[in-house]
Amino acid sequence: MTMSSNDGYVFTRDYLDNNRINLMHSLWTKVFGYAVHPRIPIAKPDLHVADVGTGTGIWLFDVREHLAKSAQLVGLDISLNAAPHPDTLPSNVKLRHWDIKDDLPADLVAAFDLVHVRFLSFVLLNNEVEVVLRKLFQMLSTYICTNSTSRCRLVANPTSEPGGYLQWGEPDMETLRIDKVALEAKSEGLEQLFKLFEIQDARLKPTWAVELHNLFSAVGFDHVDVHSVDCPPHWAYIFHEGGLMMHEIISRKNKSEKLQHELARLLPQAVEETRNGAWVSCVRLTVIGKRPAQ
């Protein structure tokens, strides 16, 4: 399937953007210390895992190495243009199209022990988050069991632990700030660069991440937990440099001559300010919750 220019994604899904995604995954798992939150059980042999908004599939490929060979993993996305060629996929990894803003397909209801979502800050508007969260809730397994798995009554994955888990990771863009090695370090270019992109699209100024844990509870999740990380300077600096390419990628998708002109003016200045000791940082969040057994 070719990518629609109207699919609501602000990035380009080309090799540069794919490398950005893969780099961000590596940095994210480094600073959090895991790909799957340690409270989420993953030892079950026939674990069913979904990655929603899978992009390049990098999270699935990473997690697969820590699961039993009999585990089944599915990556879901509105476009698979960022994913590797289908013939390169491991036998227990499948990819399929699904727009998270569409209805949940029947075969995905109660089908998974673990659902993972990350980096939807620039995809969802504030009023769309709870609607999406309810769909993710419905994807998780839940069943009533008496004395043995053979007497378990529905649902789609009856050998699973009662109640599946959702793990959702996002940067909290409300905490975005500029840090410096010294007060006199200049940062005007960085400040203007981020303001320039905020006015292009409401999704580039998301405010909902800090409320995500409350939405988990409102939808019905139990055992909600928030892990927040404010990176030390050396990691924050590397995150920032990786994020600088985001501006060029967005401008190529946007195709606005005015935006590209401003980018050509501001990006070299922002890069110089970065080398002189100024960088953008923020708090990053991972929220988990468990669907109650029924």
pLDDT per residue as tens digits for the range 12-21: 677 888 988 9
Q: How far apart are CA 10 and CA 32, in angstroms?
A: 26
Q: Output 10 or 196, whichever has higher pLDDT.
A: 196
Task: Give the pLDDT score at 155.
Answer: 45
Under the banding of pLDDT at 50, 70 and 90, the label for residue 154 is very low
Task: Give the pLDDT score at 127.
Answer: 93
The answer on pLDDT for 151 being more than 60 is no
Q: Percent of the chain at pLDDT above 70?
A: 85
pLDDT in tens, 31-50: 999 999 999 999 999 999 99
Written as six digits, the tokens of 174 are: 């409300």
Rounded mean pLDDT, 240-259: 77
Contacts of 80 (CB under 8 A, 6+ apart): 1, 95, 97
Distance of CA 58 to the CA centre of its chain: 11
Task: Give the pLDDT score at 149.
Answer: 44
pLDDT in tens, 260-292: 888 889 999 999 999 999 999 999 999 999 999
Domain boundaries, the chain: 15-174+206-230+282-290
Classify domain 15-174+206-230+282-290 at the CATH class level: alpha beta
Handedness of CA 145, 147, 149, 150 (dihedral sign): negative
Other C-beta atoms lying within 10 Å of the C-beta of residue 181: 12
The answer on pLDDT for 91 being more than 90 is yes
Q: Which of 129, 45, 119 is nearest to 82 (CA)?
A: 119
The answer on pLDDT for 125 being more than 60 is yes
Residue keyed to tokens 């990786």: 242
Contacts of 7 (CB under 8 A, 6+ apart): 78, 79, 99
Other C-beta atoms lying within 10 Å of the C-beta of residue 25: 21
Cβ-contact 51, 57 below 8 angstroms: yes
Under the banding of pLDDT at 50, 70 and 90, the label for residue 97 is very high
